[in-house]
Each structure stands twice: as C-alpha cells, then as structure tokens.
Amino acid sequence: AAILIQKWYRMYVARLEARRRYTWTIFQSIEYSGEQDQLKLHNFFNSMINQLKLDTDGQPKIARAFASSQRPAVVASETSDISGCIEGIEVESSYTGPHLTFPITHAQVKTLIQAFKAKRRLHVRYLLELLNETQKLFKQMKNINYASTSISKQITVCGDLHGKLEDLYMIFHKNGLPSVDNPFVFNGDFVDRGASSIEVSIILFACFLASPNEVFLNRGNHEDHVMNMRYGFMKEIIRKYKDYSTQVTKSFTEVFSWLPLATVIDDKVLVVHGGISQHVSLKSLARLDRHRVSRNESMICATLKQQYHLFLLTLQTVVSHNDCYGWSPVLSFLQFISVLRPPSLSEVSSLENVSLELQRLEEWKQNIFNDETNFLTLKPTFYVQVLDLLWSDPKSLMGCNPNTFRGGGCYFGPDITENFLEEHNFKLLIRSHECKPEGFEYNHDGKVLTIFSASNYYDIGSNKGAYAKLMGPDLTVHMVQFLAYQTGSVRKLTFTQRISCLEASAMQDLREKILTLKSDLMEEFKKHDTEETGTITIADWCSAMESVMDVDVPWRMLRSKLVKLNSDKRVNYESTFEELQIYHRYSEAIMEMLYRYKDSLETIFRIFDKDNSGFISMSEFTDACTLLTRHTSVNLSPNQVNDIAKSLDLNKDGQIDFNEFLEAFRIVDQKNLNTVSPRNTESEDIYDCASVNSFDEPMGVKRKITSNSELSNLET
C-alpha cells in the first residue's frame, strides 16, 4: 500500500512537471519563431537602407520610402539629431507631471519614480532632453564598460526587463536605488513587450545620468528600431507621445545605437546580453565603431549563409530596375562585394557585364558555401561580432553552430566558453536574453549564468524574475528571485491550478498559430488521407503538424487537446480547426494570408508610415505587399495585391488605416462563443491605439483567462 501511494505521488509530480515544461516549450517556440522572422526582416531592411543610393526623380515608392526613412543608427552623423528635435517644444503651465533639470540628481530619480507610480507621464520636452543628455554621455564611453567593486565591495546585475515597470520597482525595493555604494549593471532588453518600456527607459537613463560610474547599461537585441516596430515599443511611443512620435522614436534609436555592448566587472566577470561565439574577442570589439553599422558590415551580414539569397535577390531587384535607379546603386552594391572578394569593377559599364558579375558571384557563392571550412575562416566582421554578442544562446553541444532557433547569432558550447574565459582570464560569463522559469540558470558547468529579470514574462505565473548580487573580493554570486504583479489582491491558486492556467494560455497561442496555417495544414492532411475518409493515423497527423508548423512542440502529447479521435483511433483532422475561427471583415480568400503575415506587414507598414499617422496610401500598400513577396516565399500576383488593397480600404477613400487592419482580426472561440481579444502574441492587448487616455493600462494579462486566474504570491 505504501508503495502504491508513493508511486501515485511520483507519477503525479512527474506529469505535472511535464505539462509545465511543454507549456514552456510552446511559449518559447512561438516567441523565437516570431523573432526569427523579424531578424530576417531586420537584416533585409538594413541592407536595403544602406545600399540604395537613389536618384530623386522617377523612383518607385519603395525606393523613396527607404531613402527618406533615414535611420540614425545606420548613418554616421556628426551632430546629434536629438537637440534639433527639442527646439520649439514648450512645457505648458498646465503640465502636472514631473519636471527635470540637468544635471540629473538622485533626488530627481526618486521624483520620477513617484510620478510614474502616480501614473503621470513625463513631458516630451523633458524626455527628449533626457535622451539627449544620455546620448551625449554614451558617446564618450567605450564599447566595453569597466566596472569595479573596489569602493562598494559588491555589485548587482539585472537581466531583461522588457518594459515591466513593476519588476524594476521590485528590484529597487529589495535592493535599493543605485548609488556610489550600490552599483548596478542592466543587461539589455529594457524595452518591447511590456507596457511601460518608456518609463523603464526613463528611470534607467536617469539613474545612469545621476551615477554614471555606478550604473552600467548594456545593449540588448531589442534596443533596435526594427525589433521595436514589431514588439510593441513603437506602438507605446505612438500611444503616449502621439504628436511627437517621430522625434521620440528617432531619439531613442539614436540613444540605443550608442549603448555600450558589454560590461567587465573587476576584470573577472563579463556581462553581455546574448553570449559569445568563436568570433568574439574583446580586443577587436573594443576597436570597432559601434555606432556605425557600416555598409560593408551589413553587406557582409547579408552574406551569412542564411541571408545570402536575400542579398542576391536585392541585387537582382536593383539590376532589374536599373532604368529607375541608374547605375550608381548597382556599382555601390558591387563595390561591397570587394570586401570579400575583389571584383573587376572598372569593367562594369553595361548590363552584360553586370550579368557576368552576377554569374561569377553565383559561382563564388557555390564554392564558398559548399565548403564549410572555407566559410568559417572568413575574417569575422564587426557586425557578425555584434550579432553574436546580442543574439547567441549557450547550448551543451560543443563548438559554435548557427542559432537556427532565433535566426541570428550562434549556439555556443562549453568549449567556446572555456576558451573565451581562459583567454581573458575571466571566471564567469553573465548573460540574459533567454527567459528561465526560475529567473536564472547556470550552464556550462557553472561558467555561464543566465539572468532574466522580467517575471511573469509569457503570462502570469510563467516564471520568476531574478537578479544577482556579486559580493566580496571573489565576486561570489547570490541570486535573488521575485515575482511582481501590477495590482494588489490576488487570491491563492495551487501550483496545479497555476500550471493549468498557463497551459490553457499556451494552448490558446498554439491554436491561433495553427489557425494561420489552416490551408497548408489541410493540404498536408489530405496528402495522407488517400482514401478520402476525413481521417488519418495519429502518426500521420503528427508528422503533418511537424512539417507545416514551424514550432518545435511535442505534438503527440498535445494531440488529445488539439484534435478528436474517432472510434477506431484515427484522427479526424478537420477537428484541428474546430474550436477557433477567425472573425474578420475581409474576403475569405486573402484573410488567412493576411492574418499569417500580419506581424511582418505591420513592420513594413510602419516603415512606410513616416509620420506615424496610422494611414498609408493604397499605392504604398501595394509596394509593401511586393516587398513581402520578396521577403517570404509568398507568391502574389499584381492582381491579387490590388484585390487585397481594395478590400482593406474599407471606406474607399484611397487610404488604408492599418491600425484598423491590425485590429480587424478577432479570434472567436466557437465553443463558448466568446470573443477573445485581438491576437498578437508579441505585444500586450493594451496597445489598442483607440484608447489613448488610459495610461494606467492593466499589465500582464495577455488575454482574458477564465475566472480562475488568480495567483499565489510566491516571494522567495
């Protein structure tokens, strides 16, 4: 009897743990596949922006959009653009928010915190001034911060915050504000996803200005304009500073581009956002010009194996449009190839020569990528190093492998860590970038420590946040964990209930992703259903799901929650889509496609919408779709694109309100006939541009979970 009970208990615990883990896997897989997509777009746009030198007349809209959407981060500027933005903005007498004077003092940091707790917003003038001062100070700093604990005898390291103000408050509450005796390192990803990216940034920059020798800020992969367009920071700026969104965006982008890339503590510990790779060396990192993503580097980035076809495509695009662009951009393109291989540029004077050049390039590409070792011995470039620093993840496999999960940076193994630490005489690598259930995790035999400070990141109850205190002459690590919520009263949920809630949340995300690929899935299912019975085997269903969906989840385990079995244990595959339906106002034919590429389209829209009005013209939209077809494998004929454009212009005024477009999809839960809020896995629902008044938006809840969604308050 004892054994029976004990076995029961162990089975219970094991299954609970398995559920918790695959829930996590679902959240993370969906998150990373979104990031992968975004990184591709990011590299694509950066290459386009850098490389196109365009004449001013006779250009198609795409070209003009890129030419005039100058991004400060990619063009070296002598003077700051920010001070230009500030001119002419006055603070009205009716303003009740916090006032800032420079230089910033510790008292002012406290004032800011109080003001934000009281739901005040910082006036745009002060915000721009703050960003200006921050940028000026960053400019004077090197790529690598050097922190010392000689005075304080200890230092605190925090990980990703992702706009979660309550987590920052929690850290300051538990650990005190930064000061001479209390130095901090903040390891990147201050913005995106959370509701208060602006306030978090303001407080961090204010702390930095008040104690520039005690507050160390590292750049994260989300301190980047293209990421911000997809993951919510842009939306937040537009919502909170509508009339000045262009200036604010520009200023933030400028500040981000000057953020240092890493911090070294006492010459013993390296803190960097993503990780390292075999290409990363502090010496060469120190020498590079971090502000200038130079053209060469982008081009080289574009030649990384997974981006190479994109590069060729771009080149071909330019060549095929040569009558509009003229020859200069073509030459510019070809010039950059010389960084890797000297072309015979002087001979490029006719279309035939360019074709020849392209042909040679194609051959060269074959050679170089057919031989892995050749590729890897290419001299590591600056951009690749920065990409690796900000995007890499530690794994247990040896060596350095491309990070296919994220689409950028690499997976680095214990040997890479070992060599790196030994070479620099460091004892520990601290990084962030990955959400961990306990808020932190050790890898590589204790040599790599991941710290993640945004609790409840995927959803309420998903994970704890943590920060590390490094103490004493040996910098011994003490971890502090926490959970932060926005509003007070939450009732107790048992551990099991919490897992069930989270699981429900993850399954919802997964179902929606499944919905976006409905037609592809049906096609795949039908392939297995040779006798047209409407059913297939479980094994076939699983392999169809695996091949069509691009998320790595345990389909067999989840099968019972996703699809129905009939009496002879075969899967009724149409029931995969039974529960949820997309409710929309567009025609059926294009609806699914639009929904699937919603996020990429949004990013492209934002690039076109320079004045952040939320409207783009029909012709700009048509261009955006064309870009989309270049970037993805979607094949759209010009007629189809026109059809889409017409149906999106709901009031037929020649303009597309893309905010309306984004909000136009509602997932309807067929079973309960409840309308679930507009789905967007990356950003919070509260980014509804219609409700501009609500500064005090509720944090954390991505969707309306059932009434059981309360939580226990676990403070460690």
Partner 1 sequence: MSEDLRDAREVFDLFDFWDGRDGLVDAYKVGDFLRCTGLNPTEENIKKFGGTKNQGEKQLPYEECKAIWEQAKAIKDTMTHKDFREAFKSFDREGQGFISAAEMRHMLNAMGDRLTDSEIDDIIKYTDVREDLEGNIKYDTFIEKVMEGPPGV
> Applying CB under 8 A, does 9 fall inside the site for partner 1?
yes
Q: Which is nearer to partner 1, 494 or 567 (CB)?
A: 494
Bond preceding residue 103 cis, omega within 30 of 0: yes
Among 76, 118, 376, 397, binds partner 1 (CB under 8 A): 397
Residue type, 343: P
Smallest distance, Å, CB 456 to partner 1? 21
Whole-number Cα distances in Å, 494 to 10, 488, 500: 18, 18, 10
Q: What is the spatial distance between Cα 34 and Cα 560, in angstroms, rounded to a whole number?
A: 26
Helix (H), strand (E) at residue 535: strand 535-536
- Contact at 8 Å (CB) between 23 and 557? no
| Other Cβ atoms closer than 10 A to 65 | 22
Q: How far is the CB of 676 from partner 1 (least distance, A)?
A: 22
**Residue among 258 and 391 whose Cβ is closer to partner 1:** 391
Nearer to partner 1, 1 or 673 (CB): 1
Give the Cβ contact number of residue 152 at 10 Å.
16
Instruction: Tell me the helices (H) and strands (E) count for the chain, helix number first.
Output: 28, 22
Q: Which of residues 430-449 bind partner 1 (CB under 8 A)?
A: 443
Only one of the segments 52-60, 111-119, 267-275, 394-402 lies at the binding site for partner 1 (rule: CB under 8 A); that segment is 394-402
Q: How many residues does the chain have?
A: 716
Closest to partner 1 by CB, 554 vs 698, is 554
Residue that the structure tokens 């006779």 belong to: 58
Provide the token pair at 298.
């982008």
Closest CA to 121 of 255, 204, 239, 249: 239
- Nearest approach in angstroms of CB 568 to partner 1 is 13
Position 366: which residue type? Q
- In angstroms, the CA 391 to CA 433 distance is 7
Q: How far is the CB of 271 from partner 1 (least distance, A)?
A: 23
Q: Tell me: does residue 685 bind partner 1 (CB under 8 A).
A: no
- Segment contacting partner 1 (CB under 8 A): 21-29, 318-326, 592-600, 705-713? 21-29
Q: Are 605 and 598 in contact (CB under 8 A)?
A: no
Verify binding: residue 286, partner 1, rule CB under 8 A. Answer: no
Nearest CB to partner 1, comparing residues 127 and 553: 553
Nearer to partner 1 by C-beta: 16 or 356?
16
Among 123, 225, 250, 395, binds partner 1 (CB under 8 A): 395
Angstrom distances, CA of residue 110 to CA of 107, 161, 210, 453:
5, 19, 11, 21
Give the E-state strand segments of 350-423 in sequence order: 393-394, 400-402, 410-412
Among 19, 106, 526, 666, binds partner 1 (CB under 8 A): 19
* Binding of residue 22 to partner 1 (CB under 8 A): yes
Burial of residue 233 (CB within 10 Å: 0-12, 13-18, 19+) is buried
196 close to 165: Cβ distance less than 8 angstroms: yes
d(CA 612, CA 606): 7
Give Cα separations from 38 to 29, 382, 546, 579 (angstroms): 14, 21, 22, 29
Report how far residue 125's alpha carbon sits from residue 209's, in angstroms, rounded to the nearest whole number: 17
Question: In angstroms, how far apart are the furthest CA atoms of the chain?
Answer: 89
Q: Nearest distance from residue 276's CB to partner 1, in Å?
A: 17
Choice from 446, 554, 638, 654 touching partner 1 (CB under 8 A): 554
Which is closer to partner 1, CB of 15 or CB of 119? 15
How large is the C-alpha radius of gyration of the chain?
26
CB of 262 to partner 1, least distance (A): 25
Catalytic residue, from 222, 291, 444, 631: name it. Answer: 222
Q: Which stretch binds partner 1 (CB under 8 A): 7-15, 472-480, 586-594, 612-620?
A: 7-15
Of 4 and 673, CB closest to partner 1: 4
16 is an interface residue for partner 1 by CB under 8 A: yes
Out of 173, 309, 556, 585, the only residue in the binding site for partner 1 (CB under 8 A) is 556
107 interacts with partner 1 by CB under 8 A: no
Which of 1, 425, 532, 611 binds partner 1 (CB under 8 A)? It is: 1
Q: Which is nearer to partner 1, 391 or 405 (CB)?
A: 405
* 365 contributes a contact to partner 1 by CB under 8 A: no
3-state secondary structure 154-209: EEEEECECCCCHHHHHHHHHHHCCCECCECEEECCCCCCCCCCHHHHHHHHHHHHH
- CA dist., res. 94 & res. 88, Å (int): 17
The binder of partner 1 chosen from 18, 76, 286, 692 (CB under 8 A)? 18
Shortest Å, Cβ 135 to partner 1: 40
Please report whether residue 396 would count as binding partner 1 according to CB under 8 A: yes
Print the binding letters for residues 563-602 with partner 1: x by CB under 8 A, - otherwise: ------x---------------------------------
| Nearer Cβ to partner 1 (415/643) | 415
The number of beta carbons lying within 10 Å of the beta carbon of residue 377 is 9
Specify whether the CB–CB gap between 625 and 634 falls below 8 A: no
- Token look-up 């984004």 returns 662
690 contributes a contact to partner 1 by CB under 8 A:
no
- Minimum CB separation of residue 34 from partner 1 in Å reads 19
Nearer to partner 1, 10 or 142 (CB): 10
Tell me the β-bridge partners of 466. 481
Among 426, 555, 573, 621, binds partner 1 (CB under 8 A): 555
Least distance (Å) between residue 540 CB and partner 1: 11
Site string for partner 1, 489-508 (x = CB under 8 A): -----x-x---x--------
CB atoms within 10 A of CB 651: 9
- Containing 417, the helix (H) or strand (E) segment is helix 414-424
Answer for which of 76, 557, 589, 714 binds partner 1 (CB under 8 A) is 557
Q: Which residues contact 253 (CB under 8 A, 6 or more apart)?
A: 71, 72, 73, 225, 228
Nearest approach, Cβ of residue 464 and partner 1 (Å)? 17
Total residues binding partner 1 (CB under 8 A): 38
Active site residue 222: yes
The pair of three-digit structure tokens given for residue 364, joined into one six-digit string? 């060269």
Residues 521-550 that bind partner 1 (CB under 8 A): 538-539, 542
Minimum CB distance to partner 1, residue 545 (Å): 12
Nearer to partner 1, 367 or 537 (CB): 537
Q: Write out the catalytic residue numbers.
A: 222
**Contacting positions for partner 1 (CB under 8 A):** 1-19, 21-22, 25, 395-397, 443, 494, 496, 500, 538-539, 542, 552, 554-557, 569
